Amino acid sequence: MDRLSGLDAFVSTADLGSFAAAGRVLGLSPSAVGKAVSKLEEQLGVRLFQRSTRSIRLTEEGSMFHERCRRILDDLGDAEAALARTLEVPRGRLRISSPVATHHMLMPLLPEFVARYPEVELDLDFNDRIVDLIDEGVDVAIRSGDLPDSRLMARALRPFRMLLCAAPSYLNRHGVPEVPRDLDSHLAVRFRFPNSGKIQDWPLLLPAGAPEPHPRAAMTCNNIEAVRHAVINGLGIATMPDFLAREPLAAGALRTILDEHMDGPGQFSLLWPSSRNLSPKIRVLVDFLSEKLFTTQCECPCDVRELSQD
């Protein structure tokens, strides 16, 4: 603790330019601050300040040491603040942005979250638009694909798979494609990404040199729920994530096709703004969703990382 008080005295003196000013901030006398700094210099075996009757200034060694000590004390303050936050009750409005299709996963979980944290008010925006969390004041987002924003932190959830699906009624009328080239004679329901306007590719494994199949588009839209509804009603074939197709597949309203020719892994991540101190409401939501989402199908360990992609 003597070493820590010496660091406090040294950093405050370097920041404020005098023992007296540092003493006022630390609640000590100027002489006590001076003695603490002198003892630190003695322990380190180096002079940190050049002293005169009118002023003090950092030596070259003192200047270098000051930068490191400032970071150490900042980190210590952050650690103390983080510990204090663990004792706080999560409360307040929590804004969440998530793709439209994920409401199938989220809505069954939220009653338990609300019961655990009754002072948190959930404000959900189910939208396929990629929001700017910082500019739009969003606390947590669920996203798939590339995560390019270095201002964000991310926790990866389990992977999902893209499936190629059709209704039994459609397959009864048009036949079941056996290989990818058979799709040329079929109808497609295509999804258009809302941000880019790009048509989603079908992730097919094709033999070397084989051309891409070109089924005729019966419908194109920018809402994956509408795509699923159209396919269930027999309009054509579409690709969709496994979690969105799970219920109609189990009910017999959809069938998967060309499973052995599909190569469509995907990844969801929880995103939140990077900050030195994570608020309790964000922390409990991230931990809760990491615990609950995909727990029965988890195929790989989750991880936490800072985004660094360009």
pLDDT tens string 291-309: 887 544 433 323 333 333 3
Domain ranges (residues) in the chain: 2-86, 92-159+266-306, 160-264
DSSP state letter for 213 = P
Residue type (1 letter), 162: M
pLDDT tens string 163-210: 999 999 999 999 999 999 999 999 999 998 877 788 988 888 888 878
pLDDT tens string 9-57: 888 888 888 898 888 888 899 899 999 999 988 888 999 999 887 788 8
Higher confidence at residue 305 or residue 112? 112
Q: Compute CA 129 distance to the chain's CA centroid, rounded to the nearest angstrom.
A: 16
CATH of domain 92-159+266-306: 3.40.190.10
Find the mean pLDDT for residues 94-105: 84
Q: What pLDDT shows up at residue 85?
A: 65
| 36 token code pair | 């603490």
Phi, psi of 301 (to 5 degrees): -70, 145
| Number of helices and strands in the chain (H, E) | 11, 12
Rounded Cα–Cα distance for residues 294 and 290 (Å):
8
CATH superfamily of domain region 160-264: Periplasmic binding protein-like II (3.40.190.10)
Q: How many other C-beta atoms lie within 10 A of the C-beta of residue 97?
A: 22
Q: What pLDDT shows up at residue 26?
A: 86
| CATH topology identical between 2-86 and 160-264 | no
Contacts of 104 (CB under 8 A, 6+ apart): 243, 244, 247
Report how far apart, in Å, the C-alpha atoms of 306 and of each of 86, 154, 278, 301 are: 21, 6, 14, 17
User: CATH top-level class for 2-86?
Assistant: mainly alpha
Q: Half-sphere exposure of residue 307, counting CA atoms within 13 Å on the CB side?
A: 21
Residue type (1 letter), 212: E
